Structure 1
Amino acid sequence: MTSSNPKFELRGINHLALVCADMKRTIDFYTGILGMPLIKTLDLPGGLGQHFFFDCGNGNTVAFFWLADSPDAAPGIAAPKGRPDEGELASAIGSMNHVAFAVPPEKFDEYRARLEAAGVEVSRILNHDDSPQGVSKDVHAGTFVRSFYFQDPDGVLLEFACWTREFTEADVAHEPRTAADRKTPSAS
């Protein structure tokens, strides 16, 4: 998939910075289980914490802060409480909902099995399509991406995804919603 940006020559994601509770446990998961090489480590000035970078392919990185004064996790606010296949998708405006890593379609099923074998709880496979349900049991001509979800030790929602077809102009067909369209939380 390629895209042309006439305003800026963007080359992907340099890094996505997340926050963890335990840097050693994060290294164990991202390097030990997902195989991402740890490529840069920093101690932040003044005892603030640490900032570590993992190579996630094609020059892109996922980074983690360990901050000495981070508040506790806030599932359902800062990130989803669980996985989409469990009906959990909501997170607050400005939050990071999930990170989707691109994987080769021919390795998709193998990678899911490897994570399961490593003891990682994974979702069912979702064949995303344009049906009213948004997913189908089987891959068909309308399926545009296959994915499954799992969480890291801090509850960060992760996804392995592979595109299944090229996009066309017909794939951009929805009127964007505005802040006025939001459901306001009910007062308790």
Structure 2
Amino acid sequence: MKEFQLQGINHLALVCQDMTRTIDFYCNTLGLQLIKTIQLPDGGQHFFFDIGNGDALAFFWFPQAPERAPGIASVNPAAMQTGDIRTAHGSMNHVAFKVSAEKLNEYREQLAAKGVQTTPVLHHADVPSGYVPEADETTFLSSFYFFDPDGILLEFAATVRELGDPERDLNFSL
């Protein structure tokens, strides 16, 4: 028996600059439901969106929060176009939402129709470059990336094959 019986992620908490803009994007662009808001003692807010399976994506809005630092604590949008998604140690790199492979292209088109810029669909694969142009037997995930209004990198990701095979999926050295 495992020491901790984890059941998934309850919520991931991020920080936004503008609560109204964030709610508009996640409700009206991504179609999520706002399920909880909490007034903070300093005048800020903590609020939660339902992302399915009993999981939530949460945000804090702090009236006196420091400005964001793209390329340090979040992905630099300009560098993202060249595939550079590096961020600083201890930062959050991106949030990946699980979607079905059959809906991936449709969802990308829907976001484009709403004015959201996305990457092409990428097929993450067990090859030296990390990607293949079309999904094949080496592909484990197909996805595309886009930013929310605060520059948080989001991903719609479709599992192509389950992970966990030690010979195929665990390739690292310490």
Normalising TM by the smaller chain, what interval? over 0.9
Match for 1:65 among 57, 60, 63? 60
Structural mapping, 1:28-177, within 5 Å:
28-47=24-43, 49-82=44-77, 84-167=80-163, 168-170=165-167, 171-176=169-174
Structure 1 gaps of 5+ residues are: 177-188
Q: Which residue number in structure 1 is paired with residue 22 of structure 2?
A: 26
Moved more, 118-127 or 86-95: 86-95
Structure 2 gaps of 5+ residues are: none
Name the CA distance, whole Å, in 1 between partners of 2:136 and 2:81.
20
Moved more, 79-88 or 129-138: 79-88
SS for the counterpart of 1:70 is coil
| Sequence identity percentage | 53
Does structure 2 retain, via aligned residues, the 8 Å contact 1:80–1:97?
Answer: yes
SS for the counterpart of 2:47 is strand
Does structure 2 retain, via aligned residues, the 8 Å contact 1:85–1:124?
Answer: no
Does structure 2 retain, via aligned residues, the 8 Å contact 1:120–1:150?
Answer: yes
The count of aligned residue pairs is 171
TM-score, with length taken from structure 2: 0.94
Q: Specify which structure has the higher proportion of strand.
A: 2
Moved more, 74-83 or 12-21: 74-83
SS for the counterpart of 2:128 is coil
TM-score, with length taken from structure 1: 0.87
RMSD of equivalent CA atoms: 1.3
